[in-house]
Amino acid sequence: MALLKGRVAVVTGASEGIGAAIVRRLAAEGMKVAALARRIEILTDLENEMKKKDYIVNGYLCDVQRESSVKDAFDRIEEDFGGIHILVNNAGTAALVDMMNINMENAAAVLNTNVLGPMSCIKEALILMKKYSILDGHVVNINSISGHRVPIREHAGVYGASKHALRVITESLRTDIIKHKLKTRVTSISPGLVRTSMTDYYRELNPDLPSLIAENIADALVYAVTVPSNVNISEMIIDPV
Is position 159 annotated as part of the catalytic site? Answer: yes
* Active-site annotation holder among 55, 60, 132, 159: 159
Sign of the CA dihedral 96, 203, 141, 37?
positive
> What is the Cα–Cα distance from 223 to 77, expressed in whole angstroms?
25
> What one-letter code names the amino acid at 102?
I
Ordered alpha helix ranges (H), 137-199:
157-179
How many other C-beta atoms are found inside a 10 Å radius of the C-beta of residue 95?
A: 18
DSSP one-letter code for 84 = -
Contact between 151 and 159 under an 8 Å Cβ cutoff? The reply is: yes
The residues that are catalytic are 159
